[in-house]
Amino acid sequence: MKFLKQFGIILMISFLGEILHECIPLPIPASIYGIVILFVCLEFKIFPVSAVRETGMFLIEIMPLLFIPAAVGLLSSWEILKPAWVEYLIITVVTTLVVMVVSGWVTQIVIRRTKRGAVEKNG
């Protein structure tokens, strides 16, 4: 029952993200709205992390399985992608590197701020 409740919370937030995506005319995917809503809810203690922890961990563990339909879609679209596969490969590698670098920088900033806040708190 706990997993159903946690999954329900995640689905509700995803649904809110879908609603925002339809209401706000920005080119932002609904899943990003959902992630931001989840972050805000957790950050402002609207509900505790324990309210979604186990289901979130489960979804992270099975994430590779969730890429199978996308991979099958790419394979079935090979005739369309074939003329420009080199360009797609270059774009994929470059954007992956950019995401890794930006994620690393953001992580370092968060860690530094956390450490600075802990030092100031214990001062």
Spatial neighbors of 47 by CB under 8 A, at least 6 apart, are 9, 41
- Mean pLDDT estimate for the chain: 92
pLDDT, average across residues 82-110: 95
Confidence grade of residue 123 (pLDDT, cut at 50, 70, 90): low
pLDDT of residue 118: 77
**58-87 burial: b if 16+ Cβ within 10 Å, else e:** eeeeeeeeeeeeeeeeeeeeeeeeeeeeee
The gap from C-alpha 86 to its chain's centroid, in whole angstroms, comes to 27
Residue 36 CA to residue 31 CA, distance in Å, equals: 9
- Give the pLDDT confidence of 13-71 residue by residue, as tens digits: 999 999 999 999 999 999 999 999 999 999 999 999 999 999 999 999 999 998 899 88
pLDDT surpasses 90 at 117: no
**Phi, psi (degrees; rounded to nearest 5) at 27:** -80, 55
Rounded Cα distance between 21 and 16, Å, is 9
